Structure 1
Amino acid sequence: MHRLSYNANGLRNLTVERAVEEVAEAGYDGIELSLHPAHIDPFSFSDNEASVIRKALERTGIEACCLAAGADNLLSEERFEPSLVHPDAAGRARRVDLVKRSIRIADMLGIPLINFATGKRKPEVDPADARRWLVEGITEILDSTDSDVVLAMEPEPEFFLETNAAVAQLARELDSPRFALAQDLGHCRVVEEDYLASVERHLPITPVFQVEDIKGRTHYHEIPGDGDIDFVEFFRILRRGGYEGHVSVELYNHSDVYRHALRRSHEVLTAAAASAESSSED
């Protein structure tokens, strides 16, 4: 049975401790923590800060299911840069270092997964070079630690790897139990011809989902219920596949109405999951 979570990047106007409390009070099972200067700064995160978060999780009884390491301005004012496929080797090394820092933070907090992405391929970069740099970077990250934290790569529209199939191919190439696919249901809707078929096809290598609603195929994160995604069928797929991981709502663009977004998302997704379960039993 899946568990419902909420990504703290949509709660960045709160302290991280209060974000945990708000997610618990809204009825969620977990929280997806996010690297962000307002919550977890990867360059200054301390044991004391980790202790505050761990105590908040223990007090509320919810789980930190994943650490999202893909905020757009962690390394520069240019969004998502430098990436793992950046033309400058020093830039790629900075991104590799950030993911390594993310692993250490995840270990400090007892988080089993890191969510990250490739970044965009700049026009001057040959696709073969980008592929080689990507494999080299992830291999270096995997080889640098004996941590059990799993690197879950999220396909992102307009990024170098933007489909589930592309990340699945990379997973086959890397052949590591510590590399997996982080599906984003809204992204699937934007880039996949049959988004629900792609969800089902790649479910076996997916330990975490991010979800939001989408209108048409425009990449803008809507509150569940405000777009066109068939959440009932989505939960039928999870049920058929025996999925037991987290489904994490990602509404980074609704932080100004966070309480409405929290509660409306929980209401819509819980109702959809119940409908999926009911129809499966008919």
Structure 2
Amino acid sequence: MYFKIGYISNGFQNHDIFDMIKIITKLGFNGLGLTLDVCHYNPFKDSERSLKRIKRNLKGNNIDTVIETGARFLLNPWEKHEPTLVSNEETDRTKRIDFLKKAVDVAEFLEANVVTIFSGKIYENVRKEEAFGWLTNGVSEITEYAKMKNIKIGFEPEPLMLIETLEQYYLLRKEIKYDNFGLTLDIGHVQCSEDQSIHDCIISHQNEIFNIHLTDIKNKKHIHLPLGEGDINFLDVFKALKEIKYANIVNLELSRNSHNAPSVANQSMIFIKEILKQIEGTE
């Protein structure tokens, strides 16, 4: 396979980041999605010294990295994921933009090649057209900043947000004039929101995909489940990734399983190895 298997740090919220790196390395993972948050690395409070130590640990264990920005309460301790790029106050949108620029700076320092971003939910009193304009302006500013640092921006469609489907992603894509803007494809979100099969989505949108999130989904409900506990055919998923020669990280996103992270990570790796073995056996 061309890609690496990683784990997003929001699935290890009860672990020190350095313990997490040790655990996932021992289990056979070679990628990390570093969620900038209070528990692992807070770009507003933690020191450059801490970031240097993270980099040494990643390099020493041959772990590639992408940066994730889905911290629930980092910017607002009262409201999940707020503020966003579609918040109705300009000062709030600016706060999100400044955070995302910090994420780009962290990516540059850690030699991560992708930063994942998302749109956010719109307020009831905001017109979609107005929110889309705010989103376009914010994404353009962030992507331009990232381009100067040779960092890619992977945009993640998310259920119940302004941009939740791939069709909506392409409406935004048309407005962003930078080649370092692409797609973070969450396999679980595809299962929830798309009519096309996951395999066909991967094939159809292969030229846009910068980053992959992996989770299982049951009955199209947006609840991230460990692999094998939902309805997704992961054999088809990994066959598609092989077909397109996907070469970045496939990161598991299991933020609801921090309480049993080591065992779930271990089970996930066993599951993935079995899938990859099946693919190799059909060649």
1:70 aligns to 2:73 (yes or no): no
Residue 57 of structure 1 deviates from its aligned partner by 1.1
CA contact (8 A) 1:17 1:53 kept: yes
Q: Which runs of 5+ in 1 are unaligned?
A: none
1:105 corresponds to: 106
Rounded to whole Å, the distance in 2 between the matches of 1:228 and 1:176 is 36
Residue 160 of structure 1 deviates from its aligned partner by 0.6
1:255 aligns to 2:275 (yes or no): no
1:142-221 → structure 2 map (5 Å cutoff): 142-144=143-145, 146-196=148-198, 197-221=200-224
Rounded to whole Å, the distance in 2 between the matches of 1:101 and 1:164 is 27
Q: Deviations along 1:31-89, whole A, 9 cap, x unmatched?
A: 1111110111021232101111011112222222x110111212111111111011111
CA contact (8 A) 2:144 2:178 kept: no
Q: Which residue type is aligned with residue 246 of structure 2?
A: Y
Q: Give the TM-score normalised by structure 2.
A: 0.95
Q: Give the TM-score normalised by structure 1.
A: 0.95
Q: Which residue type is aligned with residue 69 of structure 1?
A: T
Rounded to whole Å, the distance in 2 between the matches of 1:166 and 1:119 is 13
Rounded to whole Å, the distance in 1 between the matches of 2:162 and 2:89 is 16
| Partner SS for 2:32 | strand
CA contact (8 A) 2:64 2:249 kept: no
1:24-39 → structure 2 map (5 Å cutoff): 24-39=25-40
- Residue range with higher mean Cα deviation, 266-275 or 165-174: 165-174
CA 1:239–1:143: 2 relative to 1, 3 Å: closer
Identity of aligned residues (%): 27
How many pairs align? 279
CA contact (8 A) 1:215 1:227 kept: yes
Q: Deviations along 1:82-111, whole A, 9 cap, x unmatched?
A: 110111111111111110111111112111
- Residue range with higher mean Cα deviation, 194-203 or 243-252: 194-203
1:40 aligns to 2:50 (yes or no): no
Residue 271 of structure 1 deviates from its aligned partner by 1.4
1:223 corresponds to: 226
Q: Which residue type is aligned with residue 72 of structure 1?
A: R
| Partner SS for 1:123 | coil
| Partner SS for 2:260 | helix
Rounded to whole Å, the distance in 1 between the matches of 2:196 and 2:277 is 24
| Partner SS for 1:174 | coil
| Partner SS for 1:207 | strand
Q: Which runs of 5+ in 2 are unaligned?
A: none
- Residue range with higher mean Cα deviation, 237-246 or 151-160: 237-246
Q: CA RMSD in A?
A: 1.3
CA contact (8 A) 2:152 2:210 kept: no
